[in-house]
Chains A and B, each alone.
Chain A
Amino acid sequence: MQNRIDQLFAKKQHGVLNIYCTAGFPKLNDTLPVMTALQQHGADLIELGMPFSDPLADGPVIQDSSTKALQNGMSLHTLFTQLAEFRQTIHVPVILMGYFNPVLTYGVEAFCAKCAEVGIDGVIVPDLPMAEYESEYRPVFEKYNLHLIFLVTPETSEERIRKIDSLSKGFLYAVSSSSTTGKDKNMNDQQAYFGRLKSLQLSNPVLIGFGIKDKATFDTASAYANGAIIGTAFIKAIEHSQDIDKTVETFISGIIQ
Chain B
Amino acid sequence: MDIAINTSNSRYQVDKNGYYGRFGGAYIPEMLYPNVHELQSKYLEVLSDPSFQQEFEALLKDYVGRPSPLYFAKRLSEKYKAKIYLKREDLNHTGAHKVNNTIGQILLAKRLGKTRIIAETGAGQHGVATATVCALMGLECVVYMGSIDIERQAPNVARMKMLGATVVPATSGSKTLKDATNEAIRDWINNPVDTHYILGTAAGPHPYPDMVARFQSVISEEIKKQLLEKTGSAHPDYVVACIGGGSNAAGAFFHYLDEEEVKLVAVEAGGKGVHSGFSAATTQLGTIGIIHASKTLLMQTSDGQIVEPHSISAGLDYPGIGPMHAHLYESGRAQFLDATDDEALAAAYELSALEGIIPAMESAHALAKLKDLPLNTDDVVVVCLSGRGDKDLDTYIRNMKK
Contacts and interface: CB of A to CB of B under 8 A. Distances in A.
Interface of A: 52-54, 56-57, 59-60, 63, 67, 70, 75-77, 99-106, 126-129, 132, 150-153, 155-156, 160, 164, 175, 178-180, 183
B304 A56 contact: no
Given A101-B291, A178-B190, A180-B186, A52 B29 contact: no
A174 to B, nearest CB: 10
Contacts of A67: 172-173
A56 B173 CA distance: 12
A53 B173 contact: yes
B120 to A, nearest CB: 13
Contact of B304 (A106, A127, A175): A106
A77 B303 CA distance: 8
Interface string B376-394: 0000000000000000000
Interface string B301-313: 0111111000000
A75 B303 CA distance: 6
Interface string B262-299: 00000000000000000000000001111111000000
A75 B21 CA distance: 30
A179 B29 contact: no
B201 interface: no
B192 A105 contact: no
B28 A99 contact: no
B306 A53 contact: yes
B178 interface: yes
B290 A127 contact: yes
Given A54-B173, A57-B29, 14 more contacts: A53-B307, A54-B291, A56-B182, A76-B304, A77-B303, A100-B27, A101-B291, A127-B290, A128-B27, A155-B33, A156-B33, A175-B31, A179-B31, A183-B190
B75 to A, nearest CB: 45
| Residues of B in contact with A, size category | 20 to 34
User: Which of A56, A102, A127, A178 has the most B CB atoms < 10 Å from its CB?
Assistant: A56
A156 B31 CA distance: 8
Contacts, number: 106
B290 A151 contact: no
Contacts of B189: 56-57, 178-180
B30 A179 contact: no
B34 interface: yes
A153 B25 CA distance: 21
Contacts of A106: 303-304
Which 4 A-B residue pairs are closest in the complex by CB-CB distance?
A105-B304, A102-B304, A126-B29, A151-B30
Contact of B28 (A63, A70, A76, A127): A127
B26 interface: yes
A49 to B, nearest CB: 14
B176 interface: no
B303 A127 contact: no
Contacts of B287: 105
B300 interface: yes
Contacts of A183: 190
26 contacts: A52-B305, A54-B182, A56-B189, A57-B29, A59-B186, A75-B305, A77-B303, A99-B290, A100-B290, A101-B289, A101-B290, A103-B304, A104-B288, A105-B287, A105-B289, A105-B303, A128-B27, A132-B27, A150-B30, A155-B192, A156-B30, A160-B33, A175-B30, A178-B191, A180-B186, A183-B190
